[in-house]
A = this chain, B = another copy of it.
Amino acid sequence: MKYPKSLIKLIEGFQMYPGIGPKTAERLAFFTIQKLSEEKIFSFSDSLKEAFLKIKKCKVCGNITENDVCDICIDSERENILMIVEAAKDVLVFEKTNQYNGKYHVLGGLISPLNGVSPEDINIKKIISRIEEEKIKEIILATSATIEGEMTALYIKNILADKGVFVSRIGYGLPAGGDIEYADEITLMKALEGRKKM
């Protein structure tokens, strides 16, 4: 005996996602047909297509939006600072801090020779034209503290060297709640370098 075809198709659908193996996919498929109402299933089904059809990249910054230009780029009260981030997700992360009122620029990836991602493959070129058009006075490089993140930050810093713009990199050090006992040496070294007068 095998599962009905329509159930197998649904299980395979869930299995496309990262972190969802055969057992979990089966559990989710059974949950769908046994626990969810018709209304919820149809709404979820529609939302998959809708998200695909409606969401596009902002023409200015590369952030996700349902319009041509995203809410942040349209907002005239934002300061002329540009924070360079890897992905659209990172924009929301910084927005949630409520500490930043500048604009963003989403790279859509990081330079990674090992994975065949060169500077031309990500949204770097537009940074230069934005500096002029939007009279940007500071660029904050907010890529991750990984090899690819560092490499990308360094690359962008270099191409901006003669553009007359102040370039900064987000701070390094212990994360909030970080225990010195468990911190690795590079983090501690960077935390020492980044020490501040109390």
Contact = CB atoms under 8 A, between A and B. Distances in A.
Interface of A: 1-7, 9-10, 12-14, 16-19, 24, 26-33, 36, 38, 40-52, 54-55, 64-66, 70-72, 88-89, 91-92, 95
B41 A17 contact: no
A142 to B, nearest CB: 15
B30 A89 contact: yes
A7 B55 contact: yes
Task: Summarize A's interface: helix, strand, loop or mixed.
Answer: helix
A65 B16 contact: no
A92 B55 contact: no
A109 B165 CA distance: 67
Contacts of A41: 48-49, 52
